[in-house]
Structure 1
């Protein structure tokens, strides 16, 4: 009787249209959906995962055990599909540091995810420059980057160098929000001669420490179309 019930349940789920399966997966979250269904040898599920879930991966609400499982067992299976990567738990452990430790030293972030176009880093107030460098170094290859709850003042030099130190960057939009209301990016003279005008960057939302820093930044953004949610922390 148990086997019959299980068979019936499986058959009923398999009969659901793709739209309902995607709704169920959305409820599970993309990491859980991948974890549960990628092991099933079903061409239909594989195609749905590749089309809707392998391309965009978010760890915002992923438990530590699931995150470790993903990094150790699932990463190589889907990494060539990932176009959007969201790292950083909304409350607790440091995913970026763990991910750096688990990532093969021979592979940069962009080599690990060669199709990556959008990177979101969240809840990283304790990260040092060395911790964050592997992720910010992907900026020239991305179309969008978002960094939230980060110590912008402390990491100003690192952020500016990765944002402005390339003449063939593909970046179109970026968001940088600090950890506290008194935390913003500083860009003072002398400005490094290696900084380049960024022709592709058209949308920026950023916390700047003061108007001087903003002025110095804007001289490198001649094609800027949108300066949204700008925060100037010191008007003096």
Structure 2
């Protein structure tokens, strides 16, 4: 048993210590090159700044195990650790006093924990396993984690064809690309001026509809709306 435990622990210890131990040969030379490489340190600084944009909780999923398993599980990835929680659900008397369980470990441990990875795959599927392995390896989906304000700024530089493609990638981008904020931004960026009447009409019809309405039809709609308002005002004065 001792030999088995030692074998299991060695790759993890080696992984954790690899940044602190000088290894002879090519790796030592690479390490010295990195120490004097401004490009290397520049990339580290950029990665650090990007990481500061992330919220503490990177991922969370919960659900019941596949039949016949009725246990409930929660899986959370934060910036620093992996949290696996489980609740035993059974009508059998021997499990009535079973308490919920929780396992916490650093990202590096999770990447080497084949048993936990197997549980994640069984309960939540291979896609969740691969995604969380990527997160724990530092492959963060920064774009999807930016605020809507910053994402709208990014979208302002894209052509509509590109926006449509981005819209299909996730529910978050679908919602953002369909939002009134995006289409108002699109109208204002493509029009020299947006009059008060045009803004009022857009809030009534929707900015997306205004965007796809040609100028002549837009002017007709504004004129009809103005005439209607004048008629209402005249009728109010008469009364």
> What TM bracket, shorter-length normalisation?
under 0.3
More strand, by proportion: 1
Q: Where is the helix percentage greater, Structure 1 or Structure 2? A: 2
Which protein is bigger by CA-based radius of gyration? 2
| RCO higher in structure (CA 8 A, sep ≥6) | 1
Normalization by structure 1: what TM-score?
0.27
